[in-house]
């Protein structure tokens, strides 16, 4: 799977940081240097640097060189809670039911989400997560098999997809979109809801250093979940909110 030019630049920078070649405070190549090295426009190089800065990996100051951000910033770059941990932390019993675990051909929409071509094989899972005797989340997930080749061999009643993917393709980036929807047929069936009842749906796309890992639709009964966030401000940079879903 070919990466876009700006994603190649991000992968290059992340690889140097993860390997220890570049440490906290080290200056990274400038926009001009990256543009020349990767044969791209300065705008493309700027996009890569700015996205890494927005994630807390780099620190950019006007009129100064771009540096590797502090470890404190990087540790809070991406905070995605595991639903099994959330439920157990509330002193409740967690269990999961695997409804679908299969390989299928990507339609145009899923192919676009995963950066693949239509018709490419993708892995698909549908899992219902329970708190005690209440169905709390319906998770529909599409996986890039190139980055998680053993996904279909996992027992997702013992480990969540989030836990497994973090172990084989550590997350470096995520995109969230939250929307209020009415319960569709699938949601009604597995979350024991009635037609027209409100739901909270989180669409989440995640990246590792090698590309897009997964696209997930996480649907919750509207009366059982709320969206929360926490903002951490640094002297020279505002971190993005670390979004979690809490009962």
For residue range 64-102, list pLDDT tens digits in order.
789 988 654 443 334 577 899 888 877 889 999 999 999
What would the pLDDT profile of 139-153 be if each residue is shown by its tens digit? 999 999 999 999 999
Q: Are residues 89 and 69 part of one domain?
A: no
- pLDDT > 80? residue 123: yes
Sequence-distant (6+) residues with CB within 8 A of 48 are: 6, 7, 9, 10, 13, 34
Q: Are residues 137 and 92 part of one domain?
A: yes
Q: Are residues 214 and 170 part of one domain?
A: yes
Q: Are residues 154 and 54 part of one domain?
A: no
Provide the domain count of the chain.
Answer: 2
Last residue of one domain, picked from the residues 50, 75, 100: 75
- pLDDT > 60? residue 162: yes
What would the pLDDT profile of 169-180 be if each residue is shown by its tens digit? 988 888 888 889
Last residue of one domain, picked from the residues 23, 51, 75: 75
CATH number at residue 36: 1.10.10.10
Give the whole-angstrom CA distance, residue 71 versus residue 57: 8
Nearest CA among 28, 130, 133, 24 for reference residue 73: 24
pLDDT at 70 (0 to 100): 67
Domain that holds residue 32: 5-75
Q: Are residues 137 and 66 part of one domain?
A: no
SS3 category, 233: strand
CATH number at residue 124: 3.40.1410.10
SS3 category, 243: strand
Last residue of one domain, picked from the residues 46, 75, 104: 75
Q: Are residues 102 and 70 part of one domain?
A: no
Q: Are residues 205 and 119 part of one domain?
A: yes
Higher pLDDT, 229 or 33: 33
Q: Are residues 237 and 179 part of one domain?
A: yes
- Do 196 and 183 contact (CB within 8 A), yes or no? yes
Q: Are residues 154 and 36 part of one domain?
A: no
Q: Are residues 45 and 95 part of one domain?
A: no
- pLDDT > 50? residue 9: yes
Q: Are residues 68 and 102 part of one domain?
A: no
Q: Are residues 110 and 34 part of one domain?
A: no
């Amino acid at each position: 799977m070919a990466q876009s030019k700006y994603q190649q630049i991000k992968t290059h920078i992340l690889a140097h940081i993860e390997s220890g070649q570049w440490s906290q405070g080290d200056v990274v190549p400038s926009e001009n240097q990256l543009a020349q090295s990767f044969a791209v426009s300065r705008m493309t190089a700027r996009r890569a640097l700015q996205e890494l800065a927005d994630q807390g990996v780099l620190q950019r100051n006007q009129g100064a060189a771009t540096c590797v951000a502090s470890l404190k910033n990087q540790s809070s770059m991406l905070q995605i809670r595991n639903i099994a941990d959330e439920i157990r932390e509330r002193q409740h019993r967690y269990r999961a039911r695997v409804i679908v675990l299969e390989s299928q051909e990507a339609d145009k929409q899923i192919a676009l989400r995963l950066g693949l071509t239509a018709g490419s094989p993708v892995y698909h899972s549908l899992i219902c997560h329970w708190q005690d005797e209440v169905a709390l989340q319906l998770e529909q997930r599409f996986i890039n098999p190139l980055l998680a080749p053993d996904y279909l061999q996992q027992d997702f009643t013992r480990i969540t997809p989030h836990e497994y993917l973090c172990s084989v393709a550590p997350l470096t980036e995520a995109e969230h979109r939250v929307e209020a929807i009415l319960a569709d047929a699938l949601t009604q069936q597995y979350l024991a809801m009635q037609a027209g009842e409100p739901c909270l749906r989180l669409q989440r796309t995640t990246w590792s250093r090698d590309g897009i890992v997964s696209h997930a639709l996480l649907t919750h009964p509207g009366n059982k979940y709320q969206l929360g966030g926490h903002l951490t401000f640094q002297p020279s940079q505002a971190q993005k909110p670390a979004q979690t879903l809490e009962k």
